[in-house]
Amino acid sequence: MARRYLFRIFRFDPEKDEQPFFQDYYYEEEKPKVILEALMDIRNEQDATLAFRYSCREAVCGSCGMVINGRFELACRTRLNSLGTETIILEPLPNLPVLKDLVVDLEPFFEALEAIKPYVMFEEEVEGGRVQGGQEESLWLSSPGFRIEEKEMEAIEPLTNCILCGCCFSACPVVARDERYLGPIALAKLYRYIRDPRDRRSFKDWQHVGNSSGLWGCDTVFRCNEVCPRQVNPAHALLALRRRYVWEKIKQILRKSK
Amino acid sequence: MLAHDILIVGGGLAGLAASLQADPTLSVALISRVHPLRSHSVAAQGGINAALGNHPEGRDDSWEKHAYDTIKGSDFLADQDAAELLCREAIPMIYELEKLGVPFSRFPGGVIAQRPFGGAGFPRTCYAADRTGLVIMHTLFEQAWRRRVKIYAEWLVVKLLVEHGICQGVVVYDLTSGKIFPVRARAVIFATGGYGRVYLKTTNAYINHGSGIGIAYKAGVPVKDMEFVQFHPTSLYNKNILITEGARGEGGYLLNRHGRRFMADYAPQAMELAPRDIVARAIQTEIDRGNGFEGEYVLLDLRHLGAEKIKKRLPSVRDICLRFAGLDPIEKPIPIQPAQHYSMGGIDVDLNGATSLPGFYAAGECACVSVHGANRLGGNSLLETIVFGKIAGREASRYVKGSEIREASSHFLESEASKVEEKVKEWLRRQNGEKVHRLLNRLKVVMSEKVGIFRQEKDLALALEEIRHIREDYEKKGYLAGQCRRFSQEMVNMLEFEYMLDLCEVITLGALARRETRGSHYRLDYPERNDNEWLKHTLVTYRDGRPVLSYKPVTITRYPPVTRLY
């Protein structure tokens, strides 16, 4: 049996509208659908000007993060009948510039990520590293390739599940009040690289995040863990990074006092 | 006018690989219709093949054996020199990905883990649980950050520009501004992916319209073996989200309504791990004979693998089942059905990724080298994207640096963009007509009903006729109901639809002409492979406003065609 929903959708075209507004659409759900499918139906049948992003429809591409009845979610995996209400309010990810309707500019999020050098760093590009890539003996097999036990990867495994949808950044209360703050996933990713046995960066390469716009900025209210659609738990990694930072500082002091 | 030495179109694995291999002294840019991280490559699950020999049962593996499995899997339509190149390059490729930071799963002892896959003589599929595509995509995108690759995201390429007989650039629809304009380039690499969304049931992302193949075809570049369309055996019933072959690689069973492992009737040796064409047909046959459930699906049973293995090796499969089907594969079997998955055919390229049009290259799913022939083996597509993406990046750089290129006039490039602009204005002028999503749906119905897993002459002929009708409606009645240009998916769909019609026509033409059964192309009226007449590649070229069929021989190095038995 068809079920009738009221969709109240955030609309804003900065080129035309003076300010954002909500527009209502009634939607008949013939068979169980997810928010993304309903949005596509509304666009096709009612209003082709409605803008939203999508791609994979299986929660792995990170396109369709938005706020659904106040909760951060991926539209592609949220069933209408799971919301417990016939009124569905859709808003774009907050704390990011709106380009049109539910489409936001993720550039601030990506910029924060780029600031931590989000890739495995080789010997030749780290502070004080040798120009030629001299790896430690134990890491290499006789044939090329690394010898890494699965348990060494356990610490970083959840972090490789991240799809960079931007939900954590958008939901973070510190990001909301301090635009210099790097945000949860940039710091969590930094921890991912530091813990990767292949990464050659030293403390000198990352100690610059030891301030209030970096790892001491976090309020530890764990909004990022809560909203993450992939159970990445960025705050756990961030706290581990803090411990690592303190330990490295102690080592520095001990070295100096010698 | 915006200009670059090399333009790469497509931000998935092939496009990223090309951008990383392109000569950094040249001006290189990557155009993608979505942010590159949203490309469909992220959805690849099961793994990437390379004969590393890390598995206890894979010690005797070699790249030659990988090549033979690929060729046999292709039903001997693959060019054998291409398959050999692919499989030889696979091994250093994996080590390079490893060095860049791909978090592959591990065997005790710290080596990269490998699992069995369909049609493979040894367990040689390297993986990162069941999110191999996601982690490789993110790793390559990290490299793009490191190398500061110039990226234009949310730009859709709508035309390839050719003057003086060479490739000169593209016309772009910029979703963010709504504008249409030319971009000059001395070389263009297409890495635009597949066309799954011309079928009703597909594992592909919503964005996989395949217009890249159609754009190349309309520019006069031949397309090859387009009638070979892969249907994946195991997509989640109803949603058609991919359930990786790795689920069977880890030991999953396929069961019919009677609880029987029916693959015993179709591939008694390989069972569930026969090549995809054979398994997909077996499943469809069971369903058609009434041995399925609700006339729609059979079951993929993982329960005997145990909770620990499922959680460790197949976590995404479990998540997908929980989220999208409301069931836990630890406790219940998964309802599955075949769905379109991959295009073996594509833009005709040589071993260097070069097409017949100077300055124009293609790699990945949109290209046909051909390494997959009539049927691709699981785990070979990720491999192909990176090996041939890199080759295309290297060769396009050589081309740009090594030749005097006669540049097109700005006037020519601008006027080509204006032609597209005029078309859009006409769509905006029309106050009513046929909406593009309806046209697209009609096309999907035709392709699914008449150009699907099982084919025959009368259906294919009818399909051609119906595609023509849809094209007429598109040309006469197509319009933009939204009357807007910024972030308009309706406009994207309208611009792409012409090319979707083209590629559907080409698939159907090739399928109608090929009177034999080979790999994924199954003709009910010609159920045998016929090497005497059909051991050759289909080429379709757009000439004087219509498609022209021709053929070219398959390259055979050392493996004479034999009957496939599994």
In a domain, A135, yes or no: no
User: What residue of A is the nearest CA neighbor of B236?
Assistant: A58
d(CA B206, CA A52): 13
Nearest CB neighbour to A48, from listed B131, B324, B481:
B481
Task: Identify all chain B residues contacting A100, using CB atoms and an 8 Å cutoff.
Answer: 486-487
Say yes or no for a CB contact (<8 Å) between A160 and B138: yes
pLDDT over 60 at A253, yes or no? yes
Cβ-contact B80, B371 below 8 angstroms: no
Name residue A88's amino acid.
I
Examine the pLDDT at A138 and tell me if it is beyond 50.
no
Give the SS3 label for residue B111: coil
Inside any domain, residue A253: yes
Encode pLDDT of B89-125 as tens digits.
Answer: 999 999 999 999 999 999 999 999 999 999 999 999 9
- What is the rounded CA–CA span in Å between residue A104 and residue A97? 6
**Closest residue by Cα to residue B78 from B536, B562, B550, B563:** B536
- pLDDT, residue B12, reads 98
Rounded Cα–Cα distance for residues B254 and B283 (Å): 9
CB within 8 Å: B490 and A43: yes
Residue of chain B whose Cα is closest to the Cα of A125: B146
For B352-376, how does the pLDDT look when each residue is reduced to its tens digit (9 = 90+)?
999 999 999 999 999 999 999 999 9
Over residues B540-551, mean pLDDT: 97
Nearest residue on chain B to A144, judged by CA atoms? B95
Pair A95, A165 in one domain: no
Structure confidence at residue A127 as a pLDDT band (50, 70, 90): low
Which residues in chain A touch residue B62, judged by CB atoms under 8 angstroms apart? none
| Each residue's pLDDT tens digit, B455-466 | 999 999 999 999
CATH for A233 = 1.10.1060.10
In terms of Cβ atoms closer than 10 Å to its own Cβ (0-12, 13-18, 19+), residue B143 is: middle
Cβ-based contacts of B99 with chain A (< 8 Å): 120, 146, 198
Q: What integer pLDDT is reported at residue A128 of this predicted model?
A: 56
> Which member of B42, B109, B489 has the closest CB to residue A56?
B42
Distance CA B216, CA B203 (A): 24
| 3-state helix/strand/coil string of B264-285 | HHCCCCCHHHCCHHHHHHHHHH
Asked which of A41, A72, A104 is the last residue of a domain, the reply is A104
| pLDDT, position A144 | 62
Q: CA B254, B256, B262, B263: dihedral to nearest 10 degrees?
A: -30
CA dihedral B484, B485, B488, B491 (to 10 degrees): 100
Average pLDDT score, chain A: 92
> Over 80: is that where the pLDDT of A1 sits?
no
Between chain A and chain B, the number of residue pairs with CB atoms below 8 A apart is 146
A221 phi and psi, to 5 degrees?
A: -100, 0
Q: What is the mean pLDDT of residues B270-284?
A: 97
Q: Is residue A242 part of a domain?
A: yes
Chain A neighbours among B 282-341 (CB < 8 Å)? 316, 319-320, 323-324
CA distance A257 to chain B (A): 36
Q: Which of A49, A75, A104 is the last residue of a domain?
A: A104
CA distance A100 to A106: 13
pLDDT of residue A124: 73
| % of chain B beyond a pLDDT of 70 | 100
Q: Is the pLDDT of residue B314 over 60?
A: yes
Q: Which residues of B are catalytic?
A: 276
Choose the final residue of a domain: A104, A135, A168: A104
Residues in A closer than 8 angstroms to B433, CB to CB, are none
Contact A62 B95 (CB under 8 A): no
| pLDDT for res A146 | 80
pLDDT digits (tens, 9 = 90+) for B159-176: 999 999 999 999 999 999
Note whether A37 and B473 are within 8 A (CB).
Answer: no
A51 and B486 within 8 Å at the Cβ level: the answer is yes
Report pLDDT for A143.
54
Asked if B440 has any chain A CB less than 8 Å from its own CB, the reply is: no
Higher pLDDT, A123 or B394: B394
Q: Which two tokens stand for residue B409?
A: 């006039």
Nearest residue in chain B measured CA to CA from A199: B101
Contact between chains at B109 and A147 (C-beta distance less than 8 A): yes
Query: For residue B108, which residues of chain A lie inside 8 Å, CB to CB?
Result: 149-150
Which residue among B101, B207, B324 places its CB closest to the CB of A55? B207
Which residue pairs from B84-89 have beta carbons closer than 8 angstroms and sit at least 24 positions apart in sequence?
A: B84/B557, B85/B351, B85/B387, B86/B369, B86/B371, B86/B380, B86/B383, B86/B384, B86/B387, B86/B388, B87/B49, B87/B50, B87/B51, B87/B63, B88/B63, B89/B387
Average pLDDT over residues B532-555: 98
Whole-prediction pTM? 0.97
What's the pLDDT band for B476 if we cut at 50, 70, 90? Answer: very high
CA–centroid distance for A164 within its chain = 4
CA B374 to chain A, closest CA, distance in angstroms equals: 26
Give yes or no for B209 touching A (CB within 8 A): no
Question: Is the pLDDT score of A31 beyond 60?
Answer: yes
Distance from CA of A79 to the nearest CA of B (A): 9
CATH number, residue A92: 3.10.20.30
The residue type found at A182 is L
A138 occurs within a structural domain: no
Residues A100 and A155 in one domain: no
Number of domains present in the structure of chain A: 2
- Residue in B95, B128, B241 closest to A145 by CB: B95
Share of chain B above pLDDT 90, in %: 98
> To the nearest whole angstrom, how far is the Cα of B395 from the nearest Cα of chain A?
26
Q: B435 and A44 in contact by Cβ < 8 A?
A: yes
- The answer on A158 and A38 residing in a single domain is no
- Is A127 within a domain? no
* Residue A130 pLDDT greater than 80, yes or no: no
Interface contact B323-A162, CB threshold 8 A:
no
Residue A241 domain-assigned (yes or no)? yes
Average pLDDT over chain B reads 97
Q: What is the helix (H) or strand (E) element at residue B155, kind and residue range?
A: strand B155-163
Domain shared by A225 and A111, yes or no:
yes
Q: Does one domain contain both A172 and A234? A: yes
How far is it, in rounded angstroms, from Cα A187 to Cα A239? 10
Q: By residue range, what is the domain housing residue A202? A: 107-121+149-257
Percent of chain B that is helix, strand, coil (3-state, to 5) = 40, 20, 40
Contact B320 A58 (CB under 8 A): yes
Residue of B nearest to A119 (CA): B142
Residue A86 shares a structural domain with residue A191: no
Contacts of B241 in chain A (CB under 8 A): 57-58
Query: Is B242 an interface residue toward A (CB < 8 Å)?
Result: yes
**Residue A242 and residue A173 in one domain:** yes
Decide if A137 is inside a domain. Answer: no
Work out the pLDDT band at B265, boundaries 50, 70, 90: very high
pLDDT tens digit sequence for A162-206:
999 999 999 999 999 999 999 999 999 999 999 999 999 999 999
Asked whether residue A129 is assigned to any structural domain, the reply reads no
Q: How far apart are CA A95 and CA A171, in angstroms?
A: 8
Residue B450 CA to residue B94 CA, distance in Å, equals: 40
Which chain B residue shows the shortest CA-CA distance from A54?
B206
B21: nearest Cα among B392, B518, B505, B470: B392
A148/B106 touch (CB, cutoff 8 Å), yes or no = yes
pLDDT of residue A154: 85
A22 alpha carbon, distance to own chain's centre: 26
Closest by CA position to B381, among listed B143, B561, B117, B562: B117
Contact state of B480 with A150 under an 8 Å Cβ cutoff: no
Residue A95 token pair: 């704390």
Same domain, A182 and A248: yes
Whether the pLDDT of residue B317 is over 60: the answer is yes
Q: Which helix (H) or strand (E) holds B417?
A: helix B410-429
Lowest mean pLDDT among A132-136, B153-157, B186-190, B307-311: A132-136
* Chain B residues within 8 A of A58 when measuring between CB atoms: 43, 239, 241-242, 320, 324
Task: Please check the confidence at residue A139 and state whether its pLDDT lies above 50.
Answer: no
Q: Read off the pLDDT band of A147 (50, 70, 90).
A: confident
Tell me whether B100 touches chain A (CB under 8 Å). Answer: yes
Residues A176 and A99 in one domain: no
Asked if A114 and A217 sit in the same domain, the reply is yes
User: How is B305-347 classified by DSSP, letter by letter?
Assistant: G-HHHHHHH-HHHHHHIIIIIS--TTTSPEEEEEEEEEES-EE
Indicate whether B249 pLDDT > 90: yes
Q: Give exposure, B252-279, as e/b (b: 16+ Cβ within 10 Å).
A: bbbbbbeeeebbeebbeebbbbbbbbbb
What number of other Cβ atoms are within 10 A of residue B566's Cβ? 18
- Answer whether A148 sits within 8 Å of B110, measured CB to CB: yes
Q: Does B207 touch chain A (CB under 8 A)?
A: yes
> Do both A165 and A79 map to the same domain?
no
Hey, what amino acid is at A166? Answer: G
Task: Measure B167 CA to nearest chain A CA, in Å.
Answer: 30
Q: Tell me, yes or no, whether A69 and A114 share the same domain.
A: no
CB contact under 8 A, A55 and B34: yes
Show residues of chain A in contact with B138, CB under 8 Å: 160, 162, 164
- What residue in A sits closest to B40 (Cα-Cα)? A56
Question: Scanning every residue of chain A, which has its alpha carbon at the shortest distance from the alpha carbon of B100?
Answer: A120
